Amino acid sequence: MSDIFQFNGAAGSGWSQPEPILMDAVETVPESLRRTNLPEWPRASEPELVRHYTWLSQRNFGIDTGFYPLGSCTMKHNPRINERIVQLPGIDRIHPLQPEHQIQGLLAIFYEMQNMLEICSGMDQVTLQPVAGAQGEFTAIRCIQEYHRSNGENHRDKVIVPDSAHGTNPASAAMCGYDIVEIPSGEDGRINLDALRAAVGEDTAAMMITNPSTLGIFEPEIAEAAEIVHTAGGQMYYDGANFNAILGKTDPGRMGFDAVHYNLHKTFSQPHGGGGPGSGPIGVKSHLAAYLPSPLVDRESVEDGGATGDGYRYFWRTPDKTIGKVQQWHGNAGAVVRAWAFYRRYGRELELMSEHAVLNANYLRHRIMNPDSSTLERIPAMPVDGAPAEVVKHEFTLSMQPLKETTGVTGKDIAKRLLDYGYMSPTLYFPMIVPECLMIEPTETESREVLDKFAEDFLAVLAEDAEIVTTAPHNTDVRRVDEVWAARNLILRHPGSE
Amino acid sequence: MDQLPNLGREQEMLEAMGLDSMDDLFSDIPKDVCRTDPLPLRDPQSEEEILADAQHLLGANVDLDSRPSFLAAGLARNFVPTMVPMLATRGEFLTSYTPYQPEVSQGMLQAMWEFQTMVSELVGLPVSNVSMYDASTAAAEAITCAVRVKGRKATQKGVVYVSQFVPPHRLSVIENYSQGGEIELRTLEHGRDGRVDLGAAVVAAGACAVYVEQPNAFGELDEGIAQLKEIIGEDTALIVGVDAVSLGIVEAPGNYGADIVVGEGQPFGIGPTGGGPIYGLFACEKEYLRMMPGRIVGKTIDEDGRDAFTLTLSTREQHIRRHRATSNICSNETLIALMGAMHMALLGPEGLKRLALRIAAVTEVTKRAVCSIPGVVLVDPDTSNFREFAVKLPGEAADAVAHIDQAGVLAGLPLGEWWDSMSTCLLIGCDERTSQSDIDALVSALSSWVEEVGA
């Protein structure tokens, strides 16, 4: 094991740097505030650290390593040109508060992205400021909250979410101060209109829902749901986590939504980086636009062609009734630039991306659920669909309940065993309404061969001896990790030399 | 289209499923919500064309390295060692996601545990998470966290005092995050010398929390902040926002009673990047552990008893606790925190101190030089500054910045952008890349503007 805290170079001078341009600069700090004990950081040379971090990287699984069917997270290939572009000084070495005339190129990219996202979602105004999907949800619900308040409707204090919703939906609305009303899904996993009718009322501020749902199926009654909520005076919020399924085929505007967030790290390939960064722009219909965070990018025609030569001067604009800021600056500009490069590759053919995401999901589902007879014979119990559907969208759910009942093998065991085969596990135990759930999202960037092989290996795991599966993984860097031990002992940092 | 491996093979895959056309895959979308026209967007481009357009557009920006620049305002024009982006963008790190499966994610988990350790050491508190979005959301969620922990005992229910000299964009983030939690924000007054008014600070005793920054928005270090905890007492959380690099020479707030320390991590690991992705630091006393936001890595053992790492205390989080979660944060800034960890590890303790001394030195030299210009005075005389200082000019600061821009120098932030009452004040920021010739260029351009205004 490579332990960074064991590096303790004798030189101890640290990273080489020029001399301070003033000696005794420490005297600029009032004596009582001067630090006496330096932090116990590693004392390491560059070669030691390069090897340490290379070693760590080799103990980490990414899309580049292998198939990553983590449902709901849209783990698609991240084109490398995007990384090259964000190293350009025109983005890496840019301060968001530079005068507008010094950052016309960045503003032009922001404007193009606002516009593109508006077109793709059927919304009237987009802001790029929120830096993650959850922050997008929070921002949009804040805008809806201020909208209701300025209409004198302060009594609207409830947000409705289906029981299949992403956990961020209720968490974001609760952070805004709303009470959450969770409505049960129908037996087919789809939105239950009767439950919705019973839940709405004068206290309804909004409903938050994703479509396709977290089960990967399109909600055919979405327009009726929107009408029910609107009739009650509430607003419809679209969780864009599953946007990869429908681009160019339909959009939240047509479905009746008032606000939407996009996950640029999902649909538009900003790399997920072990947990982030993300980028979670939101779009709204015109009646909510005045409340968006500040600032937005706007433009005006200019005679001289403008700094980028496209005939426009770009500038920041503050919406009239803005909620203010949700991120310190103007959002994750670097993520926006990556997403811009991704968008430019597809242009008006973005629809192809969604078509292939849906093609791959349906193909993989078909391959898993229709094994040949000799394979089927060896499987003690096949999974069942999380929700019945002729076709799914970009992802699908499987319940491992039958296998659990037959052999005791759980969904978690299957997930762990897939690691041995060189795959990242599907999303486990979500949505919670499907027992022993595995949620599988292949994305559009996997080949038919990869999907065939995964289906074959998945079925092989189902047929394996329970003993092997329940004790998996066997071939990973560490065996099954004890999460209870971690929570009980809470060793959250290196003990140091104390 | 070079991103779709199955392009041209749609029909064979459809046939294998018993479907006829791609339209069959979307037959579940009702006609009345279907899009029938193609997306009115531009033609697809090749990688070559995209790069050319990116170079053209981003090339139209003026990058901070291309001229003397004194714009900081909480975001650093830093130097990031070459190793950092090279190693952090290795595909195994770059293209992974939240380590829900620790058995195949030990690399990122260990790197984040090391990050937690280094942050903990830096600020002098035992617990750190693996990042917030930025300094502002870290401050905002520190406040909501403190209210959850201290709310019951507080005699001033839901009350939080926030320093008068917190930048307005951060205050706005704090307001948005706290308005839903029945939290009342009040202003912690500063005296005429810019420092926290310790006499007035007694009003905060019994509140849930106090939020101050060290240095403050004007880069001023305040000895009084080290005495605040004694004044407000055990039942009121002291939250301190820091310039992370300054802690190479300035006392760690954990050592003078801070309960939670937050700050911008960006100076370690990544360039200013147009304002993001950057990352926020969040560290606290153990008392706050179960109420804190964000992901936390713990050391543990595997089935065979070997050392291993895993996410822990997930029951605080939205994917388990839903609307009762301590925060809605899910995607965070882990990759940028990884870059930060690499940068911190490369610096080492002595390298950190050297870096802080370099910034302290250029701040002092720049301050002296700028204040030698007749008519230019410090907003708060006799303060100690780190990285930034504010001066009052004999005219509108926005005019000065525009004038100095003509000379190819970025002079700083006109403080009227933050506070209307400070329209004649300029916030000047320094960093490890500031050179004597940069300082000379600023002084020369500012002098010429002052002369013009005076004339």
Domains of chain B, residue spans:
64-78+349-454, 83-343
Q: Band the pLDDT of A497: cuts 50, 70, 90.
A: low
Whether A494 and chain B come into contact, CB under 8 Å, resolves to yes
Domain boundary among A293, A317, A349: A349
CATH of the domain at A279: 3.40.640.10
Domain membership flag for residue A76: no
Rounded-to-integer distance, Cα A122 and Cα A252, Å: 6
Q: Identify whether residues A365 and A309 lie together within a single domain.
A: no
Whether A447 and chain B come into contact, CB under 8 Å, resolves to yes
| CB neighbour list of residue A154: distance below 8 Å, 6 or more residues apart | A148
Tell whether omega for the bond before A252 is within 30 degrees of 0, i.e. cis.
no
- For B:191-220, CB contacts with A below 8 A are none
Q: In this predicted structure, what is the pLDDT of residue A336?
A: 98
Q: In this predicted structure, what is the pLDDT of residue A10?
A: 54
For A205-223, give one letter per residue: b (16+ CB within 10 A) or e.
Answer: bbbbbbbbbbbbbbbebbe
CATH number listed for the domain at residues B64-78+349-454: 3.90.1150.10
Q: Which of A37, A60, A421 to mutate to test the interface with B (most CBs of B within 10 A)?
A: A60
Q: Identify whether residues A340 and A365 lie together within a single domain.
A: no
| Tens-digit pLDDT profile for residues A12-44 | 678 999 999 999 999 999 999 999 999 999 999
**Residues of chain A positioned with their CB less than 8 A from the CB of B93:** 56-57, 60, 62, 273-274
Q: Identify whether residues A355 and A215 lie together within a single domain.
A: no
Residue pair B376/B122 in contact by the 8 Å Cβ criterion:
no
Minimal Cα–Cα distance from B401 to chain A, Å? 9
For residue B389, give the nearest of B247, B220, B242, B163 by alpha carbon: B220
| CB neighbour list of residue A324: distance below 8 Å, 6 or more residues apart | A293, A294, B172, B173, B175, B176
Rounded-to-integer distance, Cα A321 and Cα A146, Å: 9
To the nearest 5 percent, what fractions of chain A are helix, strand and coil? 40, 15, 50
pLDDT at A286 over 60: yes
Side chain identity, residue B176 = N
| Tens-digit pLDDT profile for residues A38-93 | 999 999 999 999 999 999 999 999 999 999 999 999 999 999 999 999 999 999 99
Q: In this predicted structure, what is the pLDDT of residue A134?
A: 96
Q: In this predicted structure, what is the pLDDT of residue B319?
A: 85
Q: In this predicted structure, what is the pLDDT of residue A414?
A: 98
For residue A88, give the nearest of B269, B72, B52 by alpha carbon: B52
Helix (H) or strand (E) holding A99: none
Report, as ranges of residue numbers, the positions in chain B whose pLDDT lies below 50: none
Angle formed at CA B269 by CA A327 and CA B71, multiple of 5 degrees: 60
Q: Identify whether residues A195 and A303 lie together within a single domain.
A: yes
Rounded-to-integer distance, Cα B199 and Cα B215, Å: 20
- What's the total number of domains in chain A? 3
Q: Is the dihedral of CA A386, A389, A391, A393 positive or negative?
A: negative
Give the count of alpha carbons within 13 A of B178, CB side only: 30
Q: Identify whether residues A205 and A178 lie together within a single domain.
A: yes
Whether B296 and chain A come into contact, CB under 8 Å, resolves to yes
Residue pair A298/A321 in contact by the 8 Å Cβ criterion:
no
Whether A51 and chain B come into contact, CB under 8 Å, resolves to no
Chain A CA closest to residue B3: A445
Q: Identify whether residues A133 and A240 lie together within a single domain.
A: yes
Subunit contact B65:A89, Cβ cutoff 8 A: yes
Q: Which of A1, A24, A53 to mutate to test the interface with B (most CBs of B within 10 A)?
A: A53
How do B237-243 and B209-214 pair as beta strands?
parallel
Q: In this predicted structure, what is the pLDDT of residue B419?
A: 97
Subunit contact A103:B62, Cβ cutoff 8 A: yes
Q: Which of B96, B103, B114 sits opposite A473 (nearest CB)?
A: B103
| Tens-digit pLDDT profile for residues A309-356 | 999 999 999 999 999 999 999 999 999 999 999 999 999 999 999 999
The two tokens of residue A473 are 């993984």
Subunit contact A94:B61, Cβ cutoff 8 A: yes
Q: Identify whether residues A335 and A437 lie together within a single domain.
A: no
Q: In this predicted structure, what is the pLDDT of residue B454?
A: 81
Would you give the DSSP letter of residue B219?
-
Whether A466 and chain B come into contact, CB under 8 Å, resolves to no
Residue with tokens 């050297």: B354
Rounded-to-integer distance, Cα A240 and Cα A247, Å: 11
Domain membership flag for residue A74: no
Whether B90 and chain A come into contact, CB under 8 Å, resolves to yes
pLDDT at A498 over 60: no
CATH of the domain at A478: 3.90.1150.10
Q: In this predicted structure, what is the pLDDT of residue B68?
A: 98
How do B377-378 and B388-392 pair as beta strands?
antiparallel
Choose which CATH entry (3.40.50.300, 3.30.70.2520, 3.40.50.11290, 3.40.640.10) describes domain B83-343.
Answer: 3.40.640.10
Q: Which of A218, A277, A347 sits opposite B28 (nearest CB)?
A: A218
Q: In this predicted structure, what is the pLDDT of residue A9?
A: 74
ipTM at complex level: 0.97
Q: In this predicted structure, what is the pLDDT of residue A11?
A: 56
Helix (H) or strand (E) holding B79: none
Residue B387 CA from chain centroid, whole number:
15
Residue A441 CA from chain centroid, whole number:
13
Q: Identify whether residues A275 and A214 lie together within a single domain.
A: yes
Subunit contact B247:A39, Cβ cutoff 8 A: yes
For residue A335, give the nearest of A282, A263, A274 by alpha carbon: A263
Whether B336 and chain A come into contact, CB under 8 Å, resolves to yes
Subunit contact B302:A94, Cβ cutoff 8 A: no
Provide the domain limits for residue A173.
82-349
| Tens-digit pLDDT profile for residues A166-213 | 999 999 999 999 999 999 999 888 999 999 999 999 999 999 999 999
Q: In this predicted structure, what is the pLDDT of residue A188?
A: 86
Rounded-to-integer distance, Cα A439 and Cα A452, Å: 17
Q: In this predicted structure, what is the pLDDT of residue A39?
A: 96
**Residues of chain B positioned with their CB less than 8 A from the CB of A59:** 105-107, 110
Q: Which of A271, A491, A496 sits opposite B95 (nearest CB)?
A: A271
For residue B39, give the nearest of A262, A219, A355 by alpha carbon: A355
Q: Identify whether residues A369 and A343 lie together within a single domain.
A: no
Whether B53 and chain A come into contact, CB under 8 Å, resolves to yes
Residue pair B171/B187 in contact by the 8 Å Cβ criterion:
no
pTM: 0.98
Around Cβ B384, how many Cβ atoms within 10 Å? 20
Residue B263 — φ and ψ, nearest 5°?
A: 175, 175
Side chain identity, residue A81 = I
Chain B CA closest to residue A163: B322
Question: How many interchain CB pairs under 8 A, A with B?
Answer: 710
Q: Is the dihedral of CA A425, A426, A427, A428 positive or negative?
A: negative
Domain membership flag for residue A313: yes
Subunit contact B100:A479, Cβ cutoff 8 A: no
Minimal Cα–Cα distance from A402 to chain B, Å? 24
Rounded-to-integer distance, Cα B19 and Cα A365, Å: 14
Q: In this predicted structure, what is the pLDDT of residue B175?
A: 98
Q: Which of B107, B402, B410 sits opposite A98 (nearest CB)?
A: B410
Rounded-to-integer distance, Cα A273 and Cα B331, Å: 10
Q: Identify whether residues A395 and A334 lie together within a single domain.
A: no
| Tens-digit pLDDT profile for residues A219-276 | 999 999 999 999 999 999 999 999 999 999 999 999 999 999 999 999 999 999 999 9
Around Cβ B339, how many Cβ atoms within 10 Å? 29
Q: Identify whether residues A255 and A270 lie together within a single domain.
A: yes
Q: Identify whether residues A167 and A312 lie together within a single domain.
A: yes
